[in-house]
Amino acid sequence: MQIVQKIRCPNCGSEGERHYLSDSQLTRTQCPRCDYLMISCTRTGKVIEAYAPGIYAQCELSVKSVHSTQLSKASTSYQL
């Protein structure tokens, strides 16, 4: 069973769709205008997959660079 709900896209503000996939307990939010996509677990609320052009992509990049900095610090302390 699948429930479709009309929502406002959090990325560009135009009309998008949210699909409730009760079989797999997933929620899929998508926007046809800006290619926004988010798949999250209905039960835990955890985001499984997310894609959006613009702000969200930049946010993901900054998270990755912070993570790699922490990794290099950790490996330095092991060498000492």
Residue 37 tokens, joined: 């996509």
Q: Considering the complex, state which of residue 60 and residue 66 has its C-beta at the smaller distance from Zn ion.
A: 60
Contact 26, 40 (CB under 8 A): yes
11 binds Zn ion (CB under 5 A): yes
Instruction: Say how far apart CA 12 and CA 36 lie, in whole Å.
Output: 8
Map tokens 């490996």 to a residue: 75
DSSP type of residue 14: S
Task: Output the smallest distance, CB 68 to Zn ion, in A.
Answer: 30
Q: Considering the complex, state which of residue 20 and residue 51 has its C-beta at the smaller distance from Zn ion.
A: 51
**Residues that contact Zn ion, how many (by CB under 5 A):** 7
Helix (H, G, I), strand (E, B) or coil at 32: coil
38 binds Zn ion (CB under 5 A): no
Task: Output the smallest distance, CB 73 to Zn ion, in A.
Answer: 37
- Of 28, 29, 31, 38, the one binding Zn ion (CB under 5 A) is 31
